[in-house]
Amino acid sequence: MGSVSILVVDDESDIAEPIVFLLTGCGYRVQVASDGSAALEMLAYGPPDLVLTDLMMPEVNGAELVQKVRSMDGFATTPIVVMSSLPQDIVRQECPLATAYLTKPFTSTELLNSLRNILG
């Protein structure tokens, strides 16, 4: 797993920090963006193996981020997991191009299982 890179995008550090701690502890290489705009700047250097993004963020929200990432060269198949406290059917309508969805609050096990299912 040491070669698997994940970009975590969340404007709330109390959400992002435990996720980063968990993922780095499991051997993933993790980068953090504080919002969708920062994520797009980081993605200009190439796709990570997976993007884990919050839905509700200022400036560029998760739905806008998913749309923009999908339109970028080389990102059509990059897995994108959207996290939100909204019901999944609403999130699916907002982000139909996402790979998977996690409803907050989720457990460490739910997060890791979702990532393992996607990454293989």
Residues 115, 52: Cα–Cα separation, whole Å: 9
Q: Is residue 32 part of a domain?
A: yes
Q: pTM for the complete prediction?
A: 0.95
Q: Is residue 97 part of a domain?
A: yes
Q: In terms of residue numbers, what domain contains 80?
A: 5-114
> What CATH number is attached to the domain comprising 21?
3.40.50.2300
SS (H, E, C) 23-43: HHHCCCEEEEECCHHHHHHHH
Percent of the chain exceeding pLDDT 90 equals 93
* Total number of domains constituting the chain: 1
Q: Is residue 17 part of a domain?
A: yes
State both tokens at 9: 């995008």
**Which tens digits make up the pLDDT trace of 85-119?**
999 999 999 999 999 999 999 999 999 999 999 99
Q: Is residue 119 part of a domain?
A: no
Q: Is 2 exposed, middle or buried (0-12, 13-18, 19+ CB in 10 A)?
A: exposed
Q: Is residue 64 part of a domain?
A: yes
